[in-house]
Amino acid sequence: MIVDTHCHLDDPRYNDDLDAVLEQAKAEGVEKYIIPGADIATLERAVALAENYDGIYFAVGVHPYDKEAYDRALLERYIEHPKCVAVGECGLDYFRLPEGEKEIEAEKAAQKEVFLDQIALAKAYGKPLIVHIRDASADSLEILDAHAGEKGGVLHCYNADEQLLKLSSKGFYYGIGGVLTFKNARKLVNVFPKIPKEKLLIETDAPYLTPHPHRGERNEPAYCALVADKMSELGGMPRTEVEDLTTHNAKVLFGI
- Contact predicate 224/2, CB 8 Å: yes
What average pLDDT score do residues 209-214 get?
Answer: 97
Residue 81: count of CB within 10 angstroms of its CB: 14
pTM for the whole structure: 0.96
pLDDT above 90 covers what percent of the chain? 97
CATH number of the CATH domain containing 213: 3.20.20.140
Q: In this structure, is the dihedral angle defined by the CA atoms of residues 36, 126, 192 and 163, taken in order, positive or negative?
A: positive
The gap from C-alpha 173 to its chain's centroid, in whole angstroms, comes to 10
What rounded mean pLDDT belongs to the chain? 97
CA distance 70 to 228: 34
Q: What is the 3-state secondary structure (H, E, C) of 123-135?
A: HHHCCCEEEEEEC
Phi then psi dihedrals of residue 160, to 5 deg: 70, 15
Query: What is the number of structural domains in the chain?
Result: 1
Residue-range definition of the domain harbouring residue 168: 2-254
Query: Would you say how long the chain is, in residues?
Result: 256
CA distance 36 to 255: 15
What average pLDDT score do residues 93-111 get?
Answer: 94
What average pLDDT score do residues 88-108 get?
Answer: 94
